[in-house]
Amino acid sequence: MELVYASLILHSIKQPVSEENIKKIMQAAGATPDGAKIKALVAALEGVNIDEAMKQAVMAQAAPAAPVAEAKKEEEKKDEQAQEQAVAGLGSLFG
């Protein structure tokens, strides 16, 4: 995860996301850089529009919120209906 953070730092300060730059950040943070993992990350990020990928990630996290809210409203309606039925049932006992 630290390597991803390092690449985001580089991206945010408009520096190239390169093996050398990531190693520098890791060393500055007191971590031991793993060359193989850094190489794999740089290769995976090659050609990726980081800004667009971050927007999609934010949208993907926000999207499930609507169905959850809808399900919660439906659950509340069912609870209200159950309470109304219970009250009606009790009323019939004394009717």
Q: Where are the domains of the chain?
A: 1-61, 64-95
Q: Tens of pLDDT along 7-48?
A: 999 999 999 999 999 999 999 999 999 999 999 999 999 999
38: nearest Cα among 62, 54, 18: 18
Question: Is the whole-model pTM more than 0.85?
Answer: no
Q: Tens of pLDDT along 40-82?
A: 999 999 999 999 988 988 888 776 666 667 778 888 888 787 7
Q: Does domain 1-61 have CATH number 3.40.50.300?
A: no
Sequence-separated (6 or more) residues with CB below 8 Å from residue 11: 17, 50
